[in-house]
Amino acid sequence: MGDPGIRDRTRGLVSAFDTANVWPSGSAPSPSSPPVTRHLISIDDLSLAEIRGLFALADQFSDDPSGFSDTCRGMISASLFYEPSTRTRLSFESAMLRLGGGVLTAAEMNASSAAKGESLADTVRVVGGGYADVIVLRHPSEGAARLAQEYSPVPVINAGDGAHEHPTQTLCDLYNLHVERGKLEGLDVVLAGDLKYSRTVHSFAYALARFGANIVCVPQPGFEMPDYVLKKLRDELNVEPVRADAARLGQLADRSDAIYLTPQKPHQLSLFTDTKGWQVESVDAVYMTRPQTERYQQDDGSIENYQTLGKQSMAAESLRDAVVMHPLPRRDEISSEIDEDPRSIYFKQDARGVPIRMALLSVLMGRMPLEGMVTEAAVPEPNSWPVGTGDNPCPNPSCVSRTEPRHVVPRFSLPSRAPMRAQCAYCSRELAFRFVGCSTTRRYHRPDSNALRQVRPDHLVFLDDEAQADSMQYIPAHH
């Protein structure tokens, strides 16, 4: 289990704040407390109450799309897209225009000053320094939005950072389930297809777990949910993964080793001994994903015979009442023959992205109040620390700490102190090390040593082996 204090500080109402001039409509700033800038970098930056509040605002915008055209008049949104996008970019721009604001579009950032070598940090400082009141960023490097947050004087919205997260798509997906099912708690949701590289799946899984939904992972063989995602679900969100008996899913799961992830049934699962796996009786939604070929590595498997949803695969009894979702664009993983099936909601799902993004933009720019939203700056406890010495320990070549080394000091966070686990503060990848040193005592310990609980995080040094410890003049703790 992760340290509860660390887990609480990394969720919701602390880590994504900075100081700026953004106030919810109708609130008055305290003379002694500056207002705060809210960013949306991860779905964890929103509390569950805030997400429900955004749903309520989205309902208002959906009921009267043209009735709020003065809400953000005089304000400007900048779309900085370093990767191609149609739906996400147009959805945000439509949302801003419906709110009465203006839009600056840089949809081909590789043809901008970035092609001349301008860093992401400098770009967001310039754009946020006078051009726009909010930045919507899509970038191929994982952790890029968190880096942008550090340099931007205006709110940053993560519209997708590599294979890491896509929190606004997650808001849209959650909102659709809320509309279609009337609740999120206790739902059974199948995640199918490329679960390895789909950032929408990763963000969606975290959010579903927080709401108490159950997840059935049915991956394309070779593209299973990454270990770092499963570790976060287990250690930070108390989700128990067990093998699933997905026979009742029929053709949908006939080639996959399904996994059942539940925050709801830890007691039953502790008594569970059926070697076939937890039986999946019925599901409320099937969330299909396309192969994310733009992120594939040379050693990834083939995508031949990729999973396909069609009339036959949706004929299973357990799927009778399941809505079919997809973040779009699709390739061949959903057959057009089920477009008219009343269970297929992926085009409705996309359209509902506009009102939920209207809600998000209006709140982050301080033009609509959101119940329970923090409006006064506090002094947050740090939840990440610079790597003290040595090379960048992040193993992810796509991490922004590696692709933007001029402006990024590698940082780490601690999802667990016993045993010691550390991950990159930008892309969330687990750091690999055999020993942990203390820069004050010059002694090193094994990760499961209780003594490490007494070491300040900014004094931790991660060591590959005894040889590295010796070369840095650290000695074993038992000497």
HEC profile of 140-207: CCECHHHHHHHHCCCCEEEEEECCCCCHHHHHHHHHHHHHHHCCCCCCEEEEEECCCCCHHHHHHHHH
Catalytic residue among 116, 267, 478, 479: 116
Catalytic residue among 38, 138, 202, 443: 138
Mean predicted lDDT score pLDDT of the chain: 83
- 18: confidence class by pLDDT, cuts 50, 70, 90: very low
Is residue 180 within 8 A of residue 286, CB to CB? The reply is no
Active site residue 231: no
* Residue that is written with structure tokens 């400082």 in the block: 125
Strands 214-219 and 156-161: unpaired
> How deeply is 204 buried, as exposed, middle or buried, from its count of CB atoms within 10 A (0-12, 13-18, 19+)?
buried
Active site residue 276: no
- Provide the Cα torsion 473, 474, 476, 478; round to 10°: 100
Residue 21 pLDDT greater than 70, yes or no? no
Interval 230-250 mean pLDDT: 81
Catalytic residue among 10, 37, 71, 88: 88
Distance CA 450, CA 420 (A): 9
DSSP class of residue 436? E
Domain ranges of the chain: 4-162+353-364, 168-334, 385-476
- What are 109's two structure tokens? 């950032």
pTM recorded for the entire structure: 0.83
Active site residue 89: no
Give the containing element (helix H, strand E) for 364.
helix 353-364
Domain 4-162+353-364: which CATH number of 3.90.550.10, 3.40.50.261, 3.40.50.1370, 1.10.10.10: 3.40.50.1370
Residue 240 pLDDT greater than 70, yes or no? yes
The region, left, alpha or beta by phi > 0 then psi within -120 to 50, assigned to residue 341 is beta
Residue 280 pLDDT greater than 90, yes or no? no
- 171: confidence class by pLDDT, cuts 50, 70, 90: very high
Higher pLDDT, 427 or 113: 427
Look at residue 237 in the predicted model and tell me its pLDDT.
86
> How deeply is 236 buried, as exposed, middle or buried, from its count of CB atoms within 10 A (0-12, 13-18, 19+)?
buried
The region, left, alpha or beta by phi > 0 then psi within -120 to 50, assigned to residue 119 is beta
- Same fold for the domain at 4-162+353-364 and the one at 385-476? no
What letter represents residue 170's amino acid? T
Domain 385-476: which CATH number of 2.30.30.20, 2.40.170.20, 3.30.450.20, 3.40.50.1950: 2.30.30.20
- 253: confidence class by pLDDT, cuts 50, 70, 90: confident
Interval 346-373 mean pLDDT: 92
Where are any strands of DSSP class E within 292-383? 323-325
Q: Give the residues across from 325 on adjacent strands.
A: 287
DSSP class of residue 410? -
Active site residue 478: no
Interval 186-198 mean pLDDT: 89
Catalytic residue among 166, 178, 210, 232: 166
Active site residue 183: no
Give the containing element (helix H, strand E) for 270.
helix 266-270
Look at residue 20 in the predicted model and tell me its pLDDT.
35
Is residue 17 within 8 A of residue 38, CB to CB? The reply is yes
Contacts of 180 (CB under 8 A, 6+ apart): 285, 323, 345
Domain 168-334: which CATH number of 3.40.50.1370, 3.40.50.280, 3.40.50.720, 3.10.310.70: 3.40.50.1370
Is residue 157 within 8 A of residue 137, CB to CB? The reply is yes
Q: Characterize 29-43 residue by residue with b for buried, 16 or more Cβ atoms within 10 angstroms of its Cβ, and e for exposed.
A: eeeeeebbbbbbbbb
Give phi and psi for 42, each to the nearest 5.
-135, 155
Q: What is the pLDDT of residues 379-405, one digit of tens each?
A: 556 688 998 766 788 999 999 999 998
